[in-house]
């Protein structure tokens, strides 16, 4: 009894020829697409003030007053000039993708955006800052603008600063993990030209 071949063997040869390279390219494309989709999730979470569906703690009245005195508008947390949101980046390298803020990212004022992101993600402080006369004048103006009547004003002093955590990466990453395997495999299948 002999072997009987049926079907379009020329098509099968064409599909299998170079399949490894095509699959590798499809995986790389799918990784980049997932990275860009995750970046969008993080950026949208900051914009909507609810990354991963978890609302960000609103800014204190004193923080809003300080923003206004410095010439900034807006009342959203994590968005003063947009440096943090605009620094979220995707870097694809071989078989992995980085989504986040690069250590070398700098804001308009030259400060490290990665350090600012870490402070907001996990919180910071308390810090005790000795007051200078200029700082005291700014603090009292800020308190008045926030509707708080300052007390004291004489002598030397210090201010205690505590920044509460406002996670924006971790909640977005957790929400994005749902359905990742199905999405990723679907992206590979589409890149390979398979019907899903």
Annotated domain spans of the chain: 18-123+165-192, 125-163
Chain centroid to CA 196: how far? Answer: 31
pLDDT, tens digit (0-9, with 9 covering 90-100), for 17-54: 666 788 888 899 999 999 999 999 999 999 999 999 99
What pLDDT, on a 0 to 100 scale, did the predictor assign at position 49? 96
Q: Grade residue 98 by pLDDT with cuts at 50, 70 and 90.
A: very high
Residue the block writes with tokens 């007390």: 151
CA 157 and chain centroid, separation: 37
Report pLDDT for 154: 59
Mind listing the pLDDT tens digit for each residue in 110-152?
Answer: 889 999 999 999 999 999 999 898 988 888 888 888 888 877 6
- Helical packing angle, 170-177 and 19-48, nearest 10°: 130
Helices (DSSP H) in 49-82: which residue ranges?
A: 61-69
Phi and psi at residue 133, to the nearest 5°: -55, -40
Which residue, among 45, 30, 39, has the nearest Cα to 90 in the 3D structure? 39
Pairing label, strands 124-130, 88-93: unpaired
Predicted structure pTM score: 0.79
Q: How far apart are CA 113 and CA 89, in angstroms?
A: 12
């Amino acid at each position: 009894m002999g072997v009987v071949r049926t079907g379009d063997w020329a098509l099968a040869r064409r599909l299998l020829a170079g399949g490894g390279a095509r699959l590798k390219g499809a995986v790389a494309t799918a990784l980049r697409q997932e990275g860009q989709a995750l970046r969008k999730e993080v950026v949208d979470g900051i914009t909507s003030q609810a990354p991963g569906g978890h609302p960000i703690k609103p800014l204190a009245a004193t923080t809003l007053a300080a923003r206004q005195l410095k010439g900034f508008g807006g009342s959203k947390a994590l968005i003063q000039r947009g440096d943090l949101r605009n620094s979220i980046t995707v870097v694809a390298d071989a078989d992995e993708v980085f989504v986040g803020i690069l250590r070398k990212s700098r804001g308009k004022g030259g400060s490290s955006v990665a350090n600012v992101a870490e402070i907001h993600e996990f919180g910071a402080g308390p810090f005790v800052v000795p007051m200078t006369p200029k700082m005291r004048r700014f603090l009292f103006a800020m308190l008045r603008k926030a509707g708080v009547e300052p007390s004291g004003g004489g002598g030397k002093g210090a201010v205690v600063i505590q920044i509460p955590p406002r996670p924006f990466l971790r909640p977005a990453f957790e929400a994005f993990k749902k359905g990742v395997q199905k999405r990723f495999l679907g992206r590979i299948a589409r890149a390979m030209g398979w019907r899903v």
